[in-house]
């Protein structure tokens, strides 16, 4: 436990030293909340005649929820790439913490902060009615979204050999993982299940139920948890094989 605390302190030092990490870790969540709370509410009345933005606040809420774990996965993946370049993963073979335990720590360290932001975003965003929003129903959904942090971080760390490739994978992944929100924007009915192979589709399906009815939709939650855990395990295996 002491060694884990030392690793966490070292991670914070690395984040503070790097301006981009510092922006992503601290400033990005604040900017996201500020934009959703102030700017969108200023813009909505001015474009009401062209597009009913206010009527689609819940879709914007879902969109921002997707972005939160994605940015923390970005930090996690780049920390792993830095450590791989410094041959830290090789050094771990003679350290008091096993390589697998270290990687598990690395994956879920950022997931914790992703979960914290996911939990404080609903009441601060101003995009949903906080008095009717069920936080008890939202809790397991927020945990599921937080699991997307290690999934996408491992995806990048497993297949990127350098930071340029990592940026490219994140750009492609960012597009792919946002696509499922179209199913809710376009009201596709059962056709929306065509987006099922994209992991966070199931997270969005569970979130949609929380927003619309304030209830937990068990089936998408169970499928989402199983799908995320299987993919994380598979990518974890690939990463270990390649590194």
25-80 pLDDT per residue, tens? 788 888 888 888 887 777 777 776 666 666 678 888 999 999 999 889 988 888 88
Statement: residue 3 has pLDDT above 70: no
Number of domains, the chain: 1
Closest CA to 170 of 72, 243, 85, 70: 70
Statement: residue 93 has pLDDT above 70: no
Q: What is residue 162's DSSP assignment?
A: S
C-beta contacts of 77-82 below 8 A and 24+ residues apart: 77/152, 77/153, 77/154, 77/156, 77/157, 77/160, 77/166, 77/170, 78/21, 78/163, 78/166, 79/11, 79/14, 79/21, 79/106, 80/106, 80/153, 80/157, 81/157, 81/160, 81/162, 81/163, 81/166, 82/14
- pLDDT over 70 for what percent of the chain? 84
Q: Which residues, other chains included, contact 119 with Cβ-Cβ below 8 Å and sequence gap of 6+? A: 135, 139, 142
Domain hosting 159: range is 2-242
Mean of the pLDDT values across residues 228-236? 93
By the 8 A CB rule, do 141 and 210 touch? yes
Question: Binning pLDDT at 50, 70 and 90, where does residue 90 land?
Answer: low
Comparing 4-8, 63-67, 115-119, which segment has the lowest mean pLDDT?
4-8
Statement: the pTM of the whole predicted model exceeds 0.85: yes
- Give the Cα separation of 80 and 63 in Å (integer): 27
What sign does the dihedral 159-163-168-169 (CA atoms) show?
Answer: positive
Q: Considering only residues 164 and 90, tell me which one the structure prediction assigns the higher pLDDT.
A: 164
Q: Which residues, other chains included, contact 22 with Cβ-Cβ below 8 Å and sequence gap of 6+? A: 15, 16
Question: Binning pLDDT at 50, 70 and 90, where does residue 229 land?
Answer: very high
């Amino acid at each position: 436990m002491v060694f884990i605390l030392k690793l966490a302190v070292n991670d914070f030092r690395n984040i503070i030293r790097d301006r981009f990490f510092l922006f992503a870790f601290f400033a990005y969540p604040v900017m996201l909340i500020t934009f959703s709370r102030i700017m969108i509410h200023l813009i909505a009345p001015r474009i009401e005649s062209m597009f009913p933005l206010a009527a689609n606040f819940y879709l914007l809420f879902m969109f921002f929820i997707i972005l939160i774990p994605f940015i923390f996965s970005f930090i996690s993946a780049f920390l792993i790439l830095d450590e791989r370049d410094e041959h830290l993963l090789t050094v771990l073979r003679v350290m008091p913490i096993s390589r697998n335990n270290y990687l598990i720590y690395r994956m879920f360290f950022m997931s914790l902060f992703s979960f914290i932001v996911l939990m404080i975003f609903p009441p601060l965003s101003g995009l949903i009615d906080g008095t009717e929003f069920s936080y008890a129903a939202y809790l397991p959904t927020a945990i599921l979204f937080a699991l997307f942090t290690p999934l996408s971080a491992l995806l990048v760390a497993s297949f990127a050999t350098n930071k340029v490739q990592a940026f490219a994978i994140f750009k492609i992944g960012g597009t792919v993982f946002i696509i499922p929100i179209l199913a809710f924007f376009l009201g596709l009915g059962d056709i929306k299940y065509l987006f099922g192979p994209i992991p966070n589709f199931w997270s969005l399906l569970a979130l949609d139920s929380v927003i619309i009815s304030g209830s937990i939709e068990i089936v998408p939650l169970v499928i989402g948890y199983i799908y995320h855990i299987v993919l994380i395990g598979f990518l974890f295996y690939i990463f270990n094989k390649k590194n």
